[in-house]
């Protein structure tokens, strides 16, 4: 039998079969580090960071589901694509929610100061949002700038969006002036754009709070799950919001209420998305979470007890087996009730009426919350 052997054994992929000696390492030449005097924006940023170390700050963290925000943004951008152009980002929407939350909880817009060596509470009459921007120069160096959008409490979403884009454009083209950095009362930073889960940013002197926005993704325990399984489970992408505040003038409870307000706004409370859609002239209503859709009021029973809903489009009490009785046609068999029951017409499907547990009595539903004397 003929046996063929390689001409150069042990040289697969061009590597020798002999492992290299780890003791043979290149020599490191002794070099002095390069030192550069900081000027301009980097110098001012470094001094501001040093000054921030004198501030006693604390941080509140909250996770917010983003499913509804994603859906609303998709609807908005599809409309803009077909009409006036432009694109709304998640930071535009979250920043607008921050402004509305500051209007609802003005204590978060306060600042700390000193006069004649005495501490002073500064209550700012206007909301000036500083946008933390990471500017990359052609040589690869980065600059952190925080220009302000001033008078945000007077802006609707369209105006906020335009002011935001104007500040970003000025920053990228190097046209920011000294006046653009003055008067910041609260700041917004978005490290989530780089995939950061959440951060605790530095708060500058003269400001009350800085909000950090984390990445938008599924919770870690679901990130390895298939998309179909995630949809089946109804898992939403989330983001993490942080509120780092000056603890000398703002308390933890106020910061918690502030993030809770942002959370609720992003879930559509207080007509938040109605304001956005109206400002952009989107010709259809925004989406809403199913459990937050308003339901029609309940009709009263014979003695004022809860009964079927007033909306005729919803399922109404009718014959068994799910067949609906036409409107105006009396039932073939009147509902059986207990003697003396004050609500003989309160018959209807469903396990709850406004959160109250109901107990079956044959075809009759009895409300245990309003009729505690009824036997169980």
352-353 sheet: strands from edge to edge: 352-353, 356-361, 364-367
Residue 150 near residue 166, CB atoms below 8 Å: no
Q: Which residues of 35-72 are buried (b: 16+ CB within 10 A; e: fewer)?
A: eeeeeeeeeebeeeeeebeebebebbbbebbbebbeeb
Catalytic residue status for 198: no
User: Which position among 247, 291, 357, 374 bears the catalytic label?
Assistant: 247
When computed from its CA atoms, the radius of gyration of the chain, rounded to whole angstroms, is: 32
By C-alpha distance, which of 313, 287, 309, 282 is closest to 298?
309
Residue 127 near residue 185, CB atoms below 8 Å: yes
Number of Cα atoms under 13 Å in the Cβ half of residue 335 = 19
Q: Residue 141 has what DSSP assignment?
A: -
Residue 133 near residue 168, CB atoms below 8 Å: yes
Contacts of 309 (CB under 8 A, 6+ apart): 295, 296, 297, 298, 299
Please give the distance of CA 224 from its chain centroid, rounded to a whole number. Answer: 23
Cα separation, 73 vs 93, whole angstroms: 8
The residues annotated as belonging to the active site are: 247
């Amino acid at each position: 039998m003929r046996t063929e052997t390689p001409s150069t054994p042990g040289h697969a992929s061009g590597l020798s079969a002999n492992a290299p000696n780890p003791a043979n390492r290149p020599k490191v030449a002794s070099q002095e580090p390069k030192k550069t005097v900081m000027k301009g924006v980097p110098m001012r940023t470094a001094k501001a960071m040093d000054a921030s170390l004198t501030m006693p700050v604390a941080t509140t963290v909250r996770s917010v589901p983003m499913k509804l925000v994603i859906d609303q943004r998709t609807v908005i951008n599809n409309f803009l694509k077909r009409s006036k152009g432009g694109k709304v980002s998640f930071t535009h929407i979250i920043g607008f929610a921050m402004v509305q939350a500051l209007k609802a909880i003005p204590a978060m817009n306060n600042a700390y100061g000193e006069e004649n060596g005495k501490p002073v509470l500064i209550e700012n009459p206007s909301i000036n949002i500083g946008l933390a921007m990471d500017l990359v120069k052609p040589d690869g160096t980065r600059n952190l700038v925080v220009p302000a959008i001033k008078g945000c409490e007077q802006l609707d979403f369209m105006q906020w969006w335009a002011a935001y884009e104007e500040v970003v454009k000025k920053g990228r083209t190097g046209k920011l002036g000294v006046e653009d950095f003055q008067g910041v009362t609260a700041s917004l930073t978005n490290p989530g754009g780089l995939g950061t889960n959440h951060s605790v940013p530095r708060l500058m002197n003269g400001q009350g709070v800085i909000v950090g926005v984390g990445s938008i993704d599924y919770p870690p325990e679901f990130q390895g799950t298939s998309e179909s399984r995630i949809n089946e489970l109804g898992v939403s992408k989330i983001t993490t919001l942080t509120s780092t505040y000056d603890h000398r003038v703002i308390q933890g409870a106020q910061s918690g209420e502030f993030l809770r307000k942002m959370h609720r706004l992003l879930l559509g409370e207080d007509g938040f998305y109605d304001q956005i859609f109206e400002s952009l002239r989107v010709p259809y209503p925004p989406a809403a979470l199913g459990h937050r859709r308003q339901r029609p009021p309940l009709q009263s029973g014979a003695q004022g007890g809860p009964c079927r809903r007033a909306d005729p489009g919803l399922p109404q009490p009718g014959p068994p087996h799910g067949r609906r009785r036409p409107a105006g046609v009396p039932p073939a068999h009147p509902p059986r009730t207990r003697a003396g029951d004050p609500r003989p017409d309160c018959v209807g499907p469903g396990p709850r009426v406004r959160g109250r547990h109901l107990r079956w009595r044959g075809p009759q539903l009895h409300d245990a919350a309003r009729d505690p004397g009824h036997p169980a």
